[in-house]
Amino acid sequence: MELEPYRGELLAFCYRMLGSFHEAEDLVQETLLRAWKARDRYDPTRASVRTWLYRIATNACLTALEGRARRPLPSGLGAPSDDPGAPLAPALDVPWLEPFPDARSDVDARSDLRLAWVAAVQLLPARQRAVLVLREVLEFSAAEVAGQLGITVAAVNSALQRARATIAGAGTGDPGEIREPGDAEAVAAIQRYTRAFEAADVPSLVRLLADDVVLEMPPLALWYRGSRAYGLFIDRVFRTRGPGWRTRELTANGQPALAAYAPEPGGGHRLHSLQVFDVVGGRVAHNVTFADPRVLGAFGLPSGISADEFDRER
């Protein structure tokens, strides 16, 4: 029985359920181990291997979610800050939503991996999450989902209706407006942003933002809305850490992203953060910047790079 080919899609499923890439990896490993131990009891006349694996993975996720707090982004916890000089105190007691490194999975980038969508899914009770992802994303039938969860088809349909209403009310935006990382307009927008960011050119950077752009930075609980507030905060960053930052482009959650390297006093650059973007209408509409070293470690990025290395890459 071949189980390994399903690892990538199971990883994306568990991530959508849990909001944590690291926990998703652990649960996928647990799922495959359970399946391997139970392989002699698998009945191909009752379900395909894929459906059987998702039943195991779903149960593992539901067990993991028992008694757990949801994983939010800062914008899900309160109003935006109006103080660009606010203290930068990490809220380490919050189980923050983590980004998904696209390079670690063979799952195609899709809107249902977007950070805003996954954050909205975290608002749902665990079983509603499972129904929504299994039905809407993975396109299992209502009967298959009922079998996976041990409930009736009517209960599946009711849970799906409630989940859809919650997601619609969460204001995740129209996925059709969000540009994929390879979209020419998104590529051009991020390239312009990169040039302005590396030049510490705040006025040029601000011109690349949507008027109501959102900037949030877990594990910091504060966040900002609007191009003016965004510009004031970024100006503070450059004044504090200095100009001369360098970046590497990549993707996360099916969205364009930048790994940002801050200049070191003795030369070279140190990995500082990962910026994950929504691009709408050729402008940056949302930037979620992650600075937790454990989160950054999932992307396999070098922790430090010399100026010569950056020059050779370009």
Res. 311 pLDDT band, cuts 50 70 90: low
C-beta contacts of 197-205 below 8 A and 24+ residues apart? 197/245, 197/247, 197/258, 197/260, 198/244, 198/245, 198/246, 198/247, 199/243, 200/238, 200/243, 200/244, 200/245, 202/231, 202/234, 202/235, 202/238, 203/231, 205/231, 205/234
On average, the pLDDT of the chain sits at: 92
Domain chopping of the chain, boundaries: 4-169, 176-313
Q: What's the pTM?
A: 0.92
What percent of the chain has a predicted confidence (pLDDT) above 70? 92
Cα 277 to Cα 106, 124, 128, 176, 287: the distances in Å are 21, 24, 27, 15, 5
Whether 29 shows a pLDDT value over 90: the answer reads yes
Q: Does domain 176-313 have CATH number 3.40.50.300?
A: no
Nearest to 61 by CA among 110, 115, 121, 141: 121
Q: Does domain 4-169 have CATH number 1.10.10.10?
A: yes
Distance between CA atoms of residues 271 and 260, nearest Å: 6
Whether 94 shows a pLDDT value over 50: the answer reads yes
Instruction: Summarize the confidence of residues 73-83 as an average pLDDT.
Output: 94
